Amino acid sequence: MRKMNFKGKVIWITGASSGIGASLAMQLNNLGATVIASARRTEKLIELREKCADLQNFMVLPLDITDSQSIQKSVAQVRQLGRLDLVLHNAGIAQKGLVIETELDVDRKVMETNYFGTVALTKAIMPMYLQQGYGGFGIVSSFAGVMGIPGRSAYSASKHALHGFFESLKAEHMGCKLNVSFILPGFINTAITAKGLCGDGTPYGKVETSHRLGMTPAECAQDIIKGLQKKRKQIAVGKFEVYLLSINRIAPGLGHYIIKNHPMRRWRRLKSRFDLTIHFKGNKVIERRCTKNC
């Protein structure tokens, strides 16, 4: 299959103000694409633009995907460009908490952002794709989008829902050259867990150890771009955790056991028991301290 060439392509990225989205925007711009970077934090998008190689082909477009008027206004501006080749749905919010301790309002908020916001933007874009006869979507999902993860019920549900929606969309529009890629990041060192919602709706406030030790956003973006170039239907990105997807597909029972008893859960139990404290500088451990039962 012929690889996708990004030079001259128009690519719209949501959630582009930080993390994976920001790295994708910079790298695709460097590859010659006209990048439309969207997020609610306009000032962060402007800062990102200043770091890019081709400022003329980097468009800052404020967008709140939970606001229908913001979506319609943004799509109208994109239409003026005359073409749109690829949309990378990256905007989203995480959640942390057991089912029984997560308030229903939190479930609704996660679904409103991760699912309904993405669906609303897609519905607004599709007339443009149908008119030009082609288009693509890259959905930044998660391992939680193909398997249930403990403590991530709302997040996992929202990502599962996206898979069902885009599978149906692709099946419905066979007459349009519509390419859909599901992007499944594993543990990536971004602030998504820190900004994620606890069961009562408050921010979790810290980056989980599993993510802190994970792949960098820049490395993640590189692997995503390689997958998009090859037009892969599923792009799994991460370190050792990517093997879990194959295990879960071949032996679901074993996959479920690993998820339920994964090393980070054991680590948290150990940390609680011995009151372990670890400090990081980047991905490097710079201090370990044990204050009881040691």
**Residue 231 or residue 147, greater confidence:** 231
Amino acid residing at 257: Y
pLDDT above 90 coverage of the chain, percent: 56
DSSP for 211-267 reads: HHTSB-HHHHHHHHHHHHHTT-SEEEESSGGGHHHHHHHH-HHHHHHHHHT-HHHHH
Note the helical H segments in 151-191. 153-172
Note the helical H segments in 12-84. 19-30, 42-50, 68-79
| Consecutive H or E run containing 136 | strand 134-140
Locus of tokens 């028991």:
273
**Residue 267 predicted with pLDDT over 50:** no
Q: Residue 238's pLDDT band (boundaries 50, 70, 90)?
A: confident
pLDDT for the residue numbered 199:
86
Instruction: Summarize the confidence of residues 5-30 as an average pLDDT.
Output: 94
pLDDT for the residue numbered 3:
72
**Residue 17 predicted with pLDDT over 60:** yes
Phi, psi of 72, rounded to the nearest 5 degrees = -65, -40
- What is the rounded CA–CA span in Å between residue 236 and residue 150? 20
pLDDT for the residue numbered 168:
96
Instruction: Summarize the confidence of residues 178-188 as an average pLDDT.
Output: 91
**Residue 174 predicted with pLDDT over 50:** yes
Among 2, 166, 14, 173, which residue's Cα sits nearest to residue 87? 14
- What is the rounded CA–CA span in Å between residue 90 and residue 93? 10
Say if residues 184 and 232 touch (Cβ distance below 8 Å).
Answer: no
**Residue 257 or residue 50, greater confidence:** 50
pLDDT for the residue numbered 154:
93
Instruction: Summarize the confidence of residues 102-127 as an average pLDDT.
Output: 96
What does the domain layout of the chain look like in residue ranges? 10-241
Q: Give whichever of 95-99, 147-151, 250-254 has the largest mean pLDDT.
A: 95-99
DSSP assignment, residue 2?
P
Among 235, 213, 233, which residue's Cα sits nearest to residue 222? 235
**Residue 293 predicted with pLDDT over 80:** no
Instruction: Summarize the confidence of residues 170-189 as an average pLDDT.
Output: 89
Cβ neighbours for 72, distance < 8 A, ≥ 6 positions apart: 124
CATH of 10-241, one of 3.40.50.720, 3.40.1080.10, 2.60.40.4070, 3.40.1440.10: 3.40.50.720
**Lowest model confidence (mean pLDDT) among 42-51, 130-139, 219-228, 280-289:** 280-289
pLDDT for the residue numbered 258:
65
pLDDT for the residue numbered 147:
78
DSSP assignment, residue 95?
B
Q: Give whichever of 123-137, 165-179, 250-264 has the largest mean pLDDT.
A: 123-137
Q: Residue 276's pLDDT band (boundaries 50, 70, 90)?
A: very low
Q: Residue 264's pLDDT band (boundaries 50, 70, 90)?
A: very low
For the annotated catalytic residues, the residue numbers are 155
pLDDT for the residue numbered 284:
46
Mean pLDDT of all residues belonging to the chain: 84
**Residue 269 or residue 243, greater confidence:** 243
